[in-house]
């Protein structure tokens, strides 16, 4: 594997700060130089989490710059575009056409999709760790109503299955784009148009998953980003345990923050209980949480790192937690990997050790599972996930993701959330 001389904690911390500084636009941190030159929703939110213990103001600026892209519906978009690089990433603003939509904010171009609603958990993390209490309290008062609106959007416009969970309407909304759990719903889509392709025709792969990603974007855009279209016609609607597990943890975070904002915690606690009941009722089968394809009416047979998302809930029944930990530590996940946590179960035929969300280990999901282990008092698991994640970045650098067997880096270098969450793990 690619390896670096042993890096001590202080040097690793300095390297992490220099990646974050290099990827900063002043208000936002882009995921990585080159490929991802815009502000991404959960990337930025993980950056705020990583900054929380060290720089309250900068963490707040990161969240506020993302929320500047929030739609009047409450939706927080998955990309807030940086004007200088509009055409570098495809699909850019010309495809999304957010500014033509009355619910989109003025003066900023965004995508029309969202990503896992991690912001309330991040705001609570900032509040909990802030040395600067006044700045943190002011931040909570300012951001709390925006997050109430975001959660309201998920409740009213995304419960497409009517069972109390939020559905995602595109694989990009999961943050785990090419996970094998989306293969079946993508392959069930009707044949797609290709008029939007920017590549030369000779480069076209016939009817690839990317074509299908684009067909979903265009269908939703052309409906006018209409929630009724999403409910009744949009062909991709899936309930994802990681997205909903994060939403549940964010409801619990809003309950903690409500008194700081002078609001009532009760509705957030009730929302968390509703989501927990729905997760157990709708997504639990054969010892794991699974993705439910609402259009096909089926649960996925594949378990992924997303299957552990509901462990972020401190109120998840102990027997379910125990079953999840057995699976996590088994040869399907951590037991057979050199480095935690493979993004897809190793025994699945779709597992691919070097392909993004089809196998590699990621710093952000390791951080989430470490947090989940902490809320259930699993000290050994907390230690392993923390130390092995630091081992990955020490050896291979702040890569986008890592081979779960030998720890070598994959994807972009100088990846922001890998650097930011390292700062949190070093604390």
Active-site residues, by number, are 177, 400
Span from 39-47, 220-228, 239-247, 278-286 in contact with ligand 9WN (CB under 6 A): 39-47
* Distance, C-alpha 84 to centroid of its chain: 25
User: Interface with ligand 9WN includes 31 (CB under 6 A)?
Assistant: yes
Q: Among 81, 75, 243, 206, which residue's Cα sits nearest to residue 151?
A: 75
- CA 8, 334, 240, 183 dihedral sign is positive
Give every strand in the sheet of 298-299, ordered side by side. 167-168, 238-239, 292-293, 298-299
User: Interface with ligand 9WN includes 211 (CB under 6 A)?
Assistant: no
Q: How many residues make contact with ligand 9WN (CB under 6 A)? A: 9
User: Interface with ligand 9WN includes 153 (CB under 6 A)?
Assistant: no
User: Interface with ligand 9WN includes 220 (CB under 6 A)?
Assistant: no
Q: Where do runs of H (alpha helix) occur along 223-301?
A: 227-232, 241-257, 266-282
Compose the 344-373 pattern: x for residues touching ligand 9WN by CB under 6 A, - for all others: ------------------------------
Q: What pairing do the DSSP bridges indicate for beta strands 284-285 and 288-289?
A: antiparallel
Whose Cβ is closer to ligand 9WN: residue 31's or residue 164's? 31
User: Interface with ligand 9WN includes 175 (CB under 6 A)?
Assistant: yes
Q: Where do runs of H (alpha helix) occur along 171-208?
A: 183-187
User: Interface with ligand 9WN includes 62 (CB under 6 A)?
Assistant: no
User: Interface with ligand 9WN includes 74 (CB under 6 A)?
Assistant: no
User: Interface with ligand 9WN includes 177 (CB under 6 A)?
Assistant: yes
> Rounded to the nearest whole angstrom, what is the least distance from the CB of residue 36 to ligand 9WN in the complex?
5
Residue with the closest Cβ to ligand 9WN?
31
Whose Cβ is closer to ligand 9WN: residue 293's or residue 400's? 400
Among 81, 144, 172, 398, indicate the residue that binds ligand 9WN (CB under 6 A): 172
Span from 38-46, 91-99, 160-168, 340-348 in contact with ligand 9WN (CB under 6 A): 38-46
Whose Cβ is closer to ligand 9WN: residue 170's or residue 234's? 170
User: Interface with ligand 9WN includes 43 (CB under 6 A)?
Assistant: yes
Q: Return the bridge partners of 29, or none.
A: 24
Cα(66)–Cα(29) distance, integer angstroms: 10
Q: Among 279, 263, 254, which residue's Cα sits nearest to residue 117?
A: 254
Cα(368)–Cα(359) distance, integer angstroms: 17
Among 12, 15, 20, 40, indicate the residue that binds ligand 9WN (CB under 6 A): 40
Lookup: tokens for 300:
């996925």
User: Interface with ligand 9WN includes 36 (CB under 6 A)?
Assistant: yes
Q: Where do runs of H (alpha helix) occur along 283-378?
A: 318-329, 363-375
Whose Cβ is closer to ligand 9WN: residue 212's or residue 231's? 212
Whose Cβ is closer to ligand 9WN: residue 88's or residue 336's? 88
User: Interface with ligand 9WN includes 96 (CB under 6 A)?
Assistant: no
Whose Cβ is closer to ligand 9WN: residue 113's or residue 311's? 113
First to last CA, the chain: 27
Whose Cβ is closer to ligand 9WN: residue 123's or residue 217's? 217
**CA dist list (Å): 188 to 183, 218, 293, 294, 383:** 9, 17, 11, 12, 42
> Rounded to the nearest whole angstrom, what is the least distance from the CB of residue 389 to ligand 9WN in the complex?
17
Whose Cβ is closer to ligand 9WN: residue 21's or residue 270's? 21
DSSP letter at 39 equals: E
**Of 76-95, which residues contact ligand 9WN (CB under 6 A)?**
78
Whose Cβ is closer to ligand 9WN: residue 144's or residue 417's? 417
> Rounded to the nearest whole angstrom, what is the least distance from the CB of residue 416 to ligand 9WN in the complex?
8
Q: Among 148, 66, 82, which residue's Cα sits nearest to residue 115?
A: 66
> Rounded to the nearest whole angstrom, what is the least distance from the CB of residue 38 to ligand 9WN in the complex?
9
Q: Do 409 and 396 contact (CB within 8 A), yes or no?
A: yes
DSSP string for residues in 99-154:
GGSTTSPTT--B-S-B----HHHHHHHHHHH-S-HHHHHHHHHHHHHHHHHHHHHH
> Rounded to the nearest whole angstrom, what is the least distance from the CB of residue 213 to ligand 9WN in the complex?
9
Cα(29)–Cα(20) distance, integer angstroms: 7
> Rounded to the nearest whole angstrom, what is the least distance from the CB of residue 287 to ligand 9WN in the complex?
26
> Rounded to the nearest whole angstrom, what is the least distance from the CB of residue 40 to ligand 9WN in the complex?
4
Q: Among 31, 47, 13, which residue's Cα sits nearest to residue 122?
A: 47
Positions in the binding site for ligand 9WN (CB under 6 A): 31, 36, 40, 42-43, 78, 172, 175, 177
């Amino acid at each position: 594997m690619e390896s670096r001389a042993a890096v001590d904690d202080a040097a690793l911390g300095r390297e992490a700060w220099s990646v974050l500084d290099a990827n900063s636009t002043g208000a936002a941190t882009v995921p990585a130089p080159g490929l991802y030159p815009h502000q991404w929703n959960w990337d930025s939110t993980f950056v705020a989490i990583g900054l929380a213990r060290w720089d309250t103001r900068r963490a707040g600026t990161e969240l506020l710059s993302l929320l500047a892209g929030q739609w009047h519906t409450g939706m927080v978009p998955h990309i807030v575009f940086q004007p200088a690089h509009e055409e570098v990433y495809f699909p850019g603003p010309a495809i999304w056409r957010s500014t033509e939509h009355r619910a989109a904010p003025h003066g900023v171009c965004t995508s029309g999709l969202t990503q896992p609603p991690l912001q309330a958990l991040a705001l609570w993390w900032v509040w909990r760790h802030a040395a600067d209490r006044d700045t943190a309290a002011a931040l909570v008062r300012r951001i709390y109503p925006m997050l109430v609106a975001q959660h309201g959007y998920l409740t009213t416009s995304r419960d497409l299955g009517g069972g109390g969970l939020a559905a995602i309407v595109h694989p990009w909304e999961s943050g785990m784009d090419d996970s094998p759990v989306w293969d079946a719903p993508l392959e069930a889509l009707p044949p797609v148009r290709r008029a939007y392709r920017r590549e030369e025709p000779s480069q076209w792969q016939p009817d690839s998953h990317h074509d299908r990603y684009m067909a979903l974007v265009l269908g939703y855009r052309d409906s006018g980003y209409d929630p009724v279209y999403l409910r009744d016609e949009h062909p991709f609607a899936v309930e994802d345990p990681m997205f909903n597990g994060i939403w549940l943890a964010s409801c619990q975070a809003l309950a903690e923050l409500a008194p700081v904002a002078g609001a009532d915690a009760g509705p957030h606690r009730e929302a968390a209980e509703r989501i927990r009941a729905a997760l157990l009722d709708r997504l639990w089968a054969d010892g794991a949480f699974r993705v439910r394809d609402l259009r096909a009416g089926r649960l996925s047979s594949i378990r992924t790192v997303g299957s552990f998302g509901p462990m972020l809930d401190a109120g998840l029944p102990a027997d379910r937690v125990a079953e999840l930990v057995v699976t996590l530590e088994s040869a399907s996940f951590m037991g057979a990997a050199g480095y935690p946590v493979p993004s897809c179960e190793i025994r699945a035929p779709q597992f691919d050790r070097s392909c993004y969300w089809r196998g590699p280990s990621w710093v952000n999901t390791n951080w989430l599972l470490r947090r989940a282990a902490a809320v259930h008092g699993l000290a050994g698991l907390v230690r392993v996930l923390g130390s092995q994640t630091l081992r990955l970045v020490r050896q291979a650098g702040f890569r986008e993701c890592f081979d779960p067997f030998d720890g070598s880096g994959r994807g972009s270098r100088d990846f922001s959330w890998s650097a930011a969450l390292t700062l949190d793990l070093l604390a």
